[in-house]
């Protein structure tokens, strides 16, 4: 739609601006009284050295497009009112035809690597990792919808000094049988104990460093312990991914880069970037703390492994972009990482993007692993599913396939609660709020979708013909939202922000429910087919919005 209008504006401007630039400048007015689309003339005014208002009037006089009903000039803006019947017909026919492919970019745009979830081995999968997992998954879906091929990488935290601690702890207090029975829980216990004891006995940290060094040097016994911790943990993580319905293309974690680091360190050295500082080697960066590459004892660090990983990915996938979906608290790490790559002379450093997010709070407080005060994701999901189950038993006890629906609603509630917020906001966590059927929740959107689905089933009508005259004014705000869906998808990608889709889905559900409260969809009259086509289109877009977020849409609930 916008393309067609942008073309007409370009014509009115004698191609003074390209269609692309115009599309980029077109915006949504603050309220519907100002029109459906606005073109600001300020940039152009500077280029043409004319007043914005005179340019706007000029455009108004020359503009001709059958999608436009009326044009008004207000303070340097060209305000456009759509020709509602034409837009309605176009949007709805397009959705009927394309179904879930509505808004999908068809041309192939290359690879994008997404590094997300990336929990740490031998530690529980915390609510903190949930954010990376669900944001990363949604962002991957959005990236794909925008025409890219995605490579989903789980950069497991399976290497580092914590394994030195764990090996020492295991040798002192570990018991094989108990660990085999509940690996992550038991490993966490001895890890916590290590930190408590280390406060009393400062030789422990030294022992841990030695143990980690032995591991890096390939000590067989240490390696065997590490492998065991890793396998057992990964098995537990995989059951969580299965519950969430999330897949990865690669589980190449930090340890994967062990044999790939020496080349990177050598290149840094050859390029004269490696500086000795207190026995350690660092890369100095202007206006930032230096990036630590190797420690005094030669051991490598998180940053060294991330450097090797970046080079590996570049070479393996030649990506247009690499997204790192990792908490806000690691911002400095990524700034340093990207800067080091830039200093090495690689211009693709600009294609690396940290996608940070805020914390999950419980009663206003941060959750931490160190002292064992954590909320386990698996427990939260179970609780959400149980709550969904109780709701079903209460409201719709005869529902078929109750177990599965409860699962989809419970998991969907947890995912949506996370994704509806701006990424960078800390989010508060309450099962009760996230399950509210009338609130700003996943279940609210799922419920709206299910309602439309059963309505369409009842109607049993499959010729979807559309006419705006038959729908009436009350449908217009909904149609406008449907028209915006493709634009929302590209915005969500540009901003690397799934909340754009979540907020959109809430708006669409809310506007539709308003319409539904005022219109009898199923009444048999000459407008019925149009109303059903309209409902069908809303259902298609709601379902696709949920799918992009990684949430299922049950047909009944």
Binder of ligand ARG out of 324, 444, 464, 493 (CB under 6 A):
324
| Max Cα-Cα span within the chain | 85
How far apart are alpha carbons 535 and 339 in whole angstroms? Answer: 50
467: number of Cβ within 10 Å: 15
HSE-CB at 10 with a 13 A cutoff on CA atoms is: 16
Cα angle 289-295-296, degrees, rounded to a multiple of 5:
120
CB of 222 to ligand ARG, least distance (A): 20
How far apart are alpha carbons 179 and 524 in whole angstroms? Answer: 66
CB of 119 to ligand ARG, least distance (A): 6
Q: Closer to ligand ARG by CB, 352 or 471: give it.
A: 352
Q: Closer to ligand ARG by CB, 344 or 399: give it.
A: 344
Q: Which stretch binds ligand ARG (CB under 6 A): 16-24, 114-122, 469-477, 506-514?
A: 114-122
HEC string of 258-319 equals HHHHHHHHHHHHHCCCEEEECCEEEECCCCCCCEEEECCCCCECHHHHHHHHHHHHHHHHCC
Query: What DSSP state is assigned to residue 149?
Result: E
CB of 504 to ligand ARG, least distance (A): 28
Q: Closer to ligand ARG by CB, 117 or 141: give it.
A: 117
CB of 363 to ligand ARG, least distance (A): 23
152 binds ligand ARG (CB under 6 A): no
Q: Are strands 274-277 and 280-283 parallel, antiparallel or unpaired?
A: antiparallel
How far apart are alpha carbons 155 and 168 in whole angstroms? Answer: 25
The side-by-side arrangement of strands in the sheet containing 111-115 is 149-153, 111-115, 321-325, 352-355
Give the nearest residue (CB) to ligand ARG.
157
> Of 345, 342, 351, which Cα lies nearest the Cα of 317?
351
Q: Closer to ligand ARG by CB, 123 or 531: give it.
A: 123
How far apart are alpha carbons 388 and 407 in whole angstroms? Answer: 7
Q: Which stretch binds ligand ARG (CB under 6 A): 64-72, 112-120, 415-423, 459-467?
A: 112-120
CB of 289 to ligand ARG, least distance (A): 17
Q: Which stretch binds ligand ARG (CB under 6 A): 89-97, 115-123, 194-202, 380-388?
A: 115-123
Q: Closer to ligand ARG by CB, 120 or 207: give it.
A: 120
Binder of ligand ARG out of 35, 52, 124, 157 (CB under 6 A):
157
554 binds ligand ARG (CB under 6 A): no
Q: Closer to ligand ARG by CB, 157 or 356: give it.
A: 157
The residue to which tokens 């660090």 are assigned? 301
115 binds ligand ARG (CB under 6 A): yes
Alpha helices in 49-156 (DSSP H): 52-62, 84-98, 127-145
Q: Which stretch binds ligand ARG (CB under 6 A): 113-121, 177-185, 374-382, 432-440?
A: 113-121
Q: Closer to ligand ARG by CB, 306 or 418: give it.
A: 306
Q: Closer to ligand ARG by CB, 264 or 488: give it.
A: 264
306 binds ligand ARG (CB under 6 A): yes
36 binds ligand ARG (CB under 6 A): no
Written as one string, the DSSP assignment of 195-235 is HHHHHH-THHHHHHHHHHHHHHTT-HHHHHHHHHHHHHHHH
Binder of ligand ARG out of 68, 71, 326, 435 (CB under 6 A):
326
Q: Closer to ligand ARG by CB, 309 or 535: give it.
A: 309
Q: Number of residues in contact with ligand ARG, rule: CB under 6 A?
A: 8
106 Cβ contact list (under 8 Å, min separation 6): 147
155 binds ligand ARG (CB under 6 A): yes
Q: Closer to ligand ARG by CB, 356 or 443: give it.
A: 356
Binder of ligand ARG out of 8, 79, 84, 120 (CB under 6 A):
120
Q: Closer to ligand ARG by CB, 324 or 444: give it.
A: 324
357 binds ligand ARG (CB under 6 A): no
509 Cβ contact list (under 8 Å, min separation 6): 444, 445, 448, 449, 542
CB of 120 to ligand ARG, least distance (A): 5
CB of 163 to ligand ARG, least distance (A): 13
How far apart are alpha carbons 308 and 310 in whole angstroms? Answer: 6
Written as one string, the DSSP assignment of 492-546 is HHHTT-THHHHHHHHHHHHHHHHHHHH--TTS-STTHHHHHHHHHHHHHHHHHHH
Q: Closer to ligand ARG by CB, 254 or 497: give it.
A: 254
133 binds ligand ARG (CB under 6 A): no
What's the count of helices (H) and strands (E) in the chain, helices before strands?
22, 13
Written as one string, the DSSP assignment of 62-86 is H---TTEEEEEEETTEEEEEE-HHH
118 binds ligand ARG (CB under 6 A): yes
Q: Are strands 427-428 and 360-362 parallel, antiparallel or unpaired?
A: parallel
CB of 243 to ligand ARG, least distance (A): 19
Q: Closer to ligand ARG by CB, 155 or 321: give it.
A: 155
Which residues of the chain form contacts with ligand ARG (CB under 6 A)? 115, 118, 120, 155, 157, 306, 324, 326
């Amino acid at each position: 739609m916008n393309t067609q209008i942008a073309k007409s504006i370009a014509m009115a401007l004698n191609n003074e601006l390209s269609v692309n630039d115009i599309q980029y400048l077109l915006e949504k007015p603050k309220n519907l009284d100002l029109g459906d689309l606005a073109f600001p003339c300020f940039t152009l005014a500077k280029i043409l050295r004319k007043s914005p208002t005179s340019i706007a009037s000029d455009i108004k006089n020359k503009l001709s497009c059958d999608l436009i009903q009326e044009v008004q000039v207000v303070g340097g803006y060209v305000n456009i009112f759509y020709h509602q019947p034409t837009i309605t017909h176009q949007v709805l026919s397009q959705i009927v035809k394309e179904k879930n492919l509505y808004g999908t970019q068809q041309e192939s745009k290359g690879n994008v690597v997404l590094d997300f979830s990336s929990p740490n081995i031998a530690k529980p999968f915390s609510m903190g990792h949930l954010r990376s997992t669900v944001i990363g998954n949604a962002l991957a879906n959005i990236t794909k919808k925008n025409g890219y091929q995605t490579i989903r990488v789980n950069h497991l935290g399976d290497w580092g000094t914590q394994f030195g601690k764990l090996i020492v702890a295991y040798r002192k207090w570990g018991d094989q049988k108990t660990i085999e029975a509940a690996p992550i829980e038991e490993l966490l216990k001895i890890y916590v104990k290590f930190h408590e004891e280390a406060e009393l006995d400062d030789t422990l940290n030294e022992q841990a460093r030695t143990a980690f060094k032995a591991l890096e040097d390939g000590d067989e016994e240490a390696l065997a312990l590490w492998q065991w911790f890793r396998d057992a943990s990964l098995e537990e993580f995989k059951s969580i991914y299965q519950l969430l319905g999330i897949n990865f293309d690669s589980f190449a974690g930090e340890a994967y880069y062990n044999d790939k680091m020496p080349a990177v360190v050598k290149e840094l050295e050859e390029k004269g970037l490696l500086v000795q500082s207190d026995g350690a080697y660092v890369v100095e960066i202007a206006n930032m703390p230096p990036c630590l590459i190797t420690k005094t004892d030669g051991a490598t660090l998180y940053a060294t492994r991330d450097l090797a990983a970046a080079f590996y990915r570049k070479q393996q996938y030649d990506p247009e972009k690499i997204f790192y979906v990792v908490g806000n608290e690691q911002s400095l790490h990524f700034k340093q990482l990207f800067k080091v790559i830039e200093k090495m002379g690689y211009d693709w450093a600009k294609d690396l993007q940290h996608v940070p997010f805020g914390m999950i709070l419980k009663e206003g407080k941060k959750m931490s692993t160190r002292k064992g005060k954590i909320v386990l994701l698996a427990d939260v999901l179970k609780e959400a599913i149980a709550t969904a189950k109780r709701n079903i038993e209460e409201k719709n006890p005869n529902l078929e396939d109750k177990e599965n629906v409860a699962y989809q609603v419970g998991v969907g509630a947890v995912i949506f609660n996370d994704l509806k917020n701006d990424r960078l906001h800390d989010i508060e966590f309450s099962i009760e709020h996230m399950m509210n059927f009338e609130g700003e929740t996943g279940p609210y959107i799922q419920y709206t979708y299910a309602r439309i689905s059963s309505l369409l089933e009842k109607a049993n009508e499959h010729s979807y013909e559309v006419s705006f005259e038959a729908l009436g004014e009350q449908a217009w705000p909904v149609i406008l939202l449907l028209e915006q869906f493709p634009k929302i998808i590209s915005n969500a990608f540009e901003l690397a922000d799934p909340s754009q889709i979540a907020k959109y889905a809430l708006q669409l559900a809310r506007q539709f429910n308003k319409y539904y409260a005022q219109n009898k969809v199923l009444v048999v009259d000459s407008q019925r087919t149009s109303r059903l086509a309209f409902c069908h289109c809303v259902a298609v877009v709601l379902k696709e919005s949920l799918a992009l977020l990684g949430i299922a849409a049950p047909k009944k609930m």
